[in-house]
Amino acid sequence: MLWSAIWSPTNALVAVCASVFTLALYAGLILVPAWSSYTRLWERLAAAVLTLYVLAVLVGVGVAGALAAVYFWG
């Protein structure tokens, strides 16, 4: 019962849209500038791997904010 309420079609659509939007912004605002800052392939790959830490922190802040909103909501 609870599982079907959490994963309703509307919630799944919102989750998919938010994920696509987040990955598009990550690629456009973080990954592409980091990739284009270097010329050698190994430097570009290292910069791309390091941007994954930035993505992880941004996702963590978003999850923490969502959990705080749910906790303090009522």
The dihedral built from the CA positions of residue 35, 39, 41 and 47, taken in this order, carries a sign that is negative
Q: What is the pLDDT of residue 12?
A: 87
Q: At what angle do helices 41-73 and 9-26 cross, to 10 degrees?
A: 140
Higher pLDDT, 3 or 24: 24
Q: What is the pLDDT of residue 28?
A: 96
Tell me the pLDDT tens digit for each residue of 14-58. 989 999 999 999 999 999 999 999 999 999 999 999 999 999 999
Q: What is the pLDDT of residue 7?
A: 78
Give yes or no for residue 6 having a pLDDT over 80: no
Q: What is the pLDDT of residue 17?
A: 96
Give yes or no for residue 1 having a pLDDT over 80: no
